Amino acid sequence: MHMRILLASALAMTVMSGMADARDTRLKLPIKDAMEANDAKTRLGSEVQFFFGADAPKPAQVIGTWSSNKKTNFANKTDKEGCEWAFLSAMLALRDRALTEGGNAVINIESNYKNIKFVSATEYECGAGAIMGGVALRGTVVKL
C-alpha cells in the first residue's frame, strides 16, 4: 500500500512538473506574411475586404462585431508556420461571418489573445505553446 502511494505521488509530481514547463509564448508576427502563406489570398477570396487596426474606410452600414478564436496543432511546424495556420483559420471565420451577415468588409480587426487587446495595422498576436497555438481576432462586419 505504501508503495502505491509513493508511485502515485511520483507520477503526480512528474505530470505537474511538465505542466509547469508548459510554454505560452506570445508572438507578434507580420500580417503581410500570414496573408501570403498557405494560399491565404486564394482561400479568403475577394468577396470580403479586411482592414486591420483603426485605419479603415467609413462604412455605409455597421452590422456588428464578432470574435474568432482558432487553435492549431504545432507538431512538425515552426511557431511562425503554426501561427499562420491559426491566423488563416481565424480570418476564414471572420470572412464567413461577414458573408452570413450580409457584409462585404471586416474593419478594425485586432488581436484579442486571452482577452488582451493588441491593435496594429501590420502585426497580429499569436500564442505559441509546446504542442498547440492559437490566434484570436475581433473585427466589425460592415457594408462599405
Position 13 in a domain: no
Position 81 in a domain: yes
SS3 116: coil
Q: Are 53 and 123 in contact (CB under 8 A)?
A: no
Position 17 in a domain: no
Q: For residue 83, give the CATH number of its domain.
A: 3.30.110.70
Which of 135, 138, 141 lies closest to 40 in space, CA to CA?
135
What's the one-letter identity of residue 25?
T
Position 4 in a domain: no
Q: Mean pLDDT across the chain, nearest whole number? A: 88
SS3 55: coil
Count of the separate structural domains present in the chain: 1
Q: What is the pLDDT of residues 46-73, one digit of tens each?
A: 999 999 998 899 999 999 999 999 999 8
Residue 20 has pLDDT above 60, yes or no: no
Within a 10 A sphere around the Cβ of 132, how many other Cβ atoms?
Answer: 16
Q: What is the pLDDT of residues 76-135, one digit of tens each?
A: 889 999 999 999 999 999 999 999 999 999 999 999 999 999 999 999 999 998 889 999
Q: Which residue has the cell 505542466?
A: 19
Structural domain for 130, as ranges: 23-143
pTM, whole model, 2 decimals? 0.82
